[in-house]
Amino acid sequence: MSLANNKDTSPLKSKDFGENFVWGVSTAAYQIEGSHNKNGKSASIWDIFSSKKGNIYQDQNGTIACDFYKKYKEDILLMKSMNITNFRFSISWTRVLPNGVGEVNKEGIAFYNNVIDFCLECNITPWVTIYHWDLPQILEDKGGWANREILEWFSEFATVCATNFGDRVKNWMVLNEPMVFTGAGYFLGVHAPGKKGLKHFLPAVHHAVLCQAKGGRILRKLVPNANIGTTFSCSQITPRSSKKKDIIAAKKADAMLNRLFLEPSLGMGYPTEDVSVLEKIEKYFKPEDKEDSVFEFDFIGVQNYTREIVKHSHFVPYLKAKIVKATKRKVKITQMDWEVYPPSISKMLTKFDAYSGVKNIIVTENGAAFNDVMVNGEINDEDRTAYLHDYIKEVKKAKEQGVNVNGYFVWTFTDNFEWAEGYFPRFGLVHVDFSTQKRTMKKSGHWYAKLIEL
Ligand code: NOJ
C-alpha cells in the first residue's frame, strides 16, 4: 500500500475521526437504477442523450445499469453487511414527475419510499440528492436549465421530494456538481443535453445558482430538523510555472472550477474579477437575484478526485487557460486519466473551510476507477484501496488541522454507468458483472468495511 504522500504513517482508524463523523457511500439514480421506462417513468435528458450514436463510450446507456430499481434490497443488505451506515442516492425526476411538473407518479414515489424504509430498517441513514443531472427531456425541450422557468419546475420537484420523503429523510443535498452539469452539458456538449456555447451555459449557470438556494429554502420550510447541503466538484489548481500568465490562468480556472457556485450562495456574487466573461450573466439577472442566490446551507458537500495543472493558452476563448493533461505528465493516473494526488483533498477542504459562511463540510464523493481484474472470483484492487487510504488520511490531516469536516462518502458503492464514459471506468467497492448483475465485493470493499466497523 502506498503511503507516498503521507508523512503520518500511523494506521488509519475511523475512530480517530470522532463519534459523529459519518461514513457512507454515494450513488446517483441514472447511474444505478435502470428500469428507465418502467412503472410510469418518462425519459430524462440522459435517456435521450445516451440513445444517440457517438455520445457515450461504445454507445452504452443506463437503461439497465445496475438494476438497482429491482435489486435495491439486495444492495442495501450488502451495504449493511459492509458496516455502511449512510447511503447517498438521488431521486429520478422523471420517475416521480413524468411530465416534469404536474401529476405525481405514485409508483415512482412508492419506489423511493421502499428504498428509504428499507434503509431505515437496516439502520442505514438515507442522504438524498434532489438533482443529480437527469432533467426531464420534456423540460429540456423547452430550454432546460437555460430557461428561467426552471425555477418554477425545480421548485415543484423539490417540493414533491420534501413533502413525500421529508418525514424520514433529514439529510439533503439540493444539486450535484452544478459546474459539471452546466459546463459539460451546456457549454462543452459532452454530457446531456449536449448543448454548446455561452448562450446556453451562462443562463444555465445563473438558474442553477438560483435553484440551489431556492431548493434550500423549500427544504427548510417543509422538512423539520433538516440538515441541508448542496455539493460542489472541486480540484486543487496549480499553475504550471511561476510565470505570471500561468498564475493568472490558474486563478481563472480556480474561479470557474471551485468558486462559481459556492460564492453566490454566500452572498459574494460571481467571481467576475477573475473571469470577466461572467459579467455577461447580468443579462439574465433580475433585481432580486443577488439576494435570492443566497442560502445558509448547513453543510457543503465537497467532491474531490484529483488536482489540475493549468497553463496559459492563447487559443482557449474567454479563459485563456488550459489544463495540462495528467497523461502528459508521467504521473499515476486512474481509468479517467485523472492524476492520483491525495493532498488535493486536504487543500480543497482547507480552502472551503476558510469561507466564513461555510458551517460544515461533508466529503460527499471521493473514489477512483481502476482496471479491476477478477482472479478466481476475487478482485484484489490494491490501487483503489491505496487511493482511498491515502485520500482519507488527507481528510484526517485536514480535520486535525481544524477543518470542520464531518463526513466521508466513497464514490461509489457498485460499479455503475459513468456518464459519457459508459461502463468502462469502474469506481465501485463492489464489482458488477453487467451481463449477470452479479455483485462481488472487491478487496477495497472489505477494507472499507473494516475501516468503518464500529
Ligand atoms: C461526479 C459525479 O457526481 C458522479 O456522478 C460521477 O460518477 C463521479 N463524480 C465520478 O466521475
**Per-residue confidence of the chain (454 residues) as pLDDT tens digits?**
444 554 677 899 999 999 999 999 999 999 999 999 999 999 999 999 999 999 999 999 999 999 999 999 999 999 999 999 999 999 999 999 999 999 999 999 999 999 999 999 999 999 999 999 999 999 999 999 999 999 999 999 999 999 999 999 999 999 999 999 999 999 999 999 999 999 999 999 999 999 999 999 999 999 999 999 999 999 999 999 999 999 999 999 999 999 999 999 999 999 999 999 999 999 999 999 999 999 999 999 999 999 999 999 999 999 999 999 999 999 999 999 999 999 999 999 999 999 999 999 999 999 999 999 999 999 999 999 999 999 999 999 999 999 999 999 999 999 999 999 999 999 999 999 999 999 999 999 999 999 999 8
| Dist. CA 244 → ligand 1 center (Å) | 33
Q: 152-179 b/e with 16+ CB inside 10 Å = b? A: ebbbbbbbbbbebbbeebbbbbbbbbbb
Hey, what's the cell of 40?
A: 410510469
Pocket test for ligand 1, best of 177, 233, 423 (most atoms within 8 A of CB): 177
Pocket test of ligand 1: the residue of 56, 419, 426 to mutate, having most ligand atoms within 8 Å of its CB, is 419
Q: Which residues have CB under 8 Å from 289's CB, separation 6+?
A: 206, 210
177 is catalytic: yes
Q: Which of 88, 181, 411 has the most ligand 1 atoms within 8 A of CB, as the residue to mutate?
A: 411
- What is the rounded CA–CA span in Å between residue 316 and residue 303? 26
Could you give the count of Cα atoms lying within 13 Å of 209 in the half-sphere of its Cβ? 27
Would you say 133 and 92 are in contact if contact means Cβ atoms under 8 Å apart?
Answer: no
Q: For 283-312, what is the HEC assignment?
A: HHCCCCHHHHCCCCCCEEEEEEEEEEEEEE
Instruction: Indicate the SS3 state at residue 324.
Output: strand
DSSP string, 19-87: TT-EEEEE--HHHH---TTSTT---BHHHHHHHSTTSSGGG--SSSTT-HHHHHHHHHHHHHHTT--EE
The C-alpha cell at 445 is 470493499
Smallest CA separation from ligand 1 atom 7, residue:
418
> Residue 379 belongs to what H/E stretch?
strand 378-379
How many of the other CB atoms lie within 10 Å of CB of 357? Answer: 15
Catalytic residue among 177, 308, 339, 418: 177
Q: Return the pLDDT at 7.
A: 65
The sign of the dihedral angle between the CA atoms of 414, 56, 253, 369 is positive
Contact residues of ligand 1, CB 6 A cut-off: 28, 31, 176-177, 303, 365, 411, 418
Q: Is 107 marked active-site?
A: no
Please tell me the distance between residue 257's alpha carbon and the centre of ligand 1 in angstroms.
15
In the reported structure, the alpha carbon of residue 231 is separated from the centroid of ligand 1 by a whole-number distance in angstroms of: 11
Distance 366 CA to ligand 1 centre (A): 9
Beta bridge partners of 379: 374
CA of 31 to the centre of ligand 1 (A): 9
Q: Are strands 378-379 and 22-26 parallel, antiparallel or unpaired?
A: unpaired
272 CA distance to ligand 1 middle (Å): 27
Exposure string for 98-130, b = 16+ CB within 10 A, e = fewer: bebbeebbeebbebbeebbebbeebebbbbbbb
Pocket mutation for ligand 1, best pick of 387, 418, 423 (most atoms within 8 Å of C-beta):
418
- Report d(CA 450, CA 160) in Å as an integer: 38
Instruction: Check: pTM over 0.95? Answer yes or no.
Output: yes
CA distances from 210 to 45, 91, 274, 319, 388 (A): 21, 20, 21, 24, 34
Query: Which atom from ligand 1 is nearest to the alpha carbon of 233?
Result: 1
Q: For residue 50, give the C-alpha cell.
A: 445516451
Give the Å distance between the CA of 233 and the centre of ligand 1: 9
The residue whose C-alpha atom lies closest to atom 6 belonging to ligand 1 is 418
Which is catalytic among the residues 33, 140, 308, 365? 365
Per-residue pLDDT at 9: 79
CB atoms within 10 A of CB 83: 15
Expressed in angstroms and rounded, the spacing between residue 132 Cα and the centre of ligand 1 is: 9
